[in-house]
Amino acid sequence: MKKYGIERSIPGVGSLTRDQLHAGSARSCAALEELGPDIQWVQSYVTANKIYCIYLAANEELVREHARRSGFPAASIADVRAIIDPTMASAVTAVAA
């Protein structure tokens, strides 16, 4: 499966209560269950007016269908090409030495 980053514009989402966020999570999971094993929600980050999500999916169309079924808009969907993190710096330093 491919990894996708999804940007969801939802004004005021950062002000939702924990219970409201849990209800949204349940709605998302119900849509995922309907779509089957070729799509998986990995993690999401909630900011003041957006949610940034990471999904694994067989294709972008499944991600779009999930957005439609769950009611969570997908303002943009990007194919993740690589993952970087701070631990990579020490690997580069070791190779250069």
pLDDT tens digits, 33-65: 999 999 999 999 999 999 999 999 999 999 999
The confidence score (pLDDT) of residue 27 equals 96
Angle at 46 between CA 57 and CA 34, to 5 degrees: 35
The confidence score (pLDDT) of residue 11 equals 96
Q: pLDDT band at 92, cuts 50/70/90?
A: low
Cβ(67)–Cβ(7) under 8 Å? no
CATH number at residue 82: 3.30.70.3090
Cβ(14)–Cβ(47) under 8 Å? yes
Domain of residue 20, residue span: 2-96
- Give the total number of structural domains in the chain: 1
- pTM: predicted TM-score of the whole model, two decimal places: 0.86
Distance CA 14, CA 93 (A): 39
Distance CA 66, CA 28 (A): 8
Q: pLDDT band at 91, cuts 50/70/90?
A: low
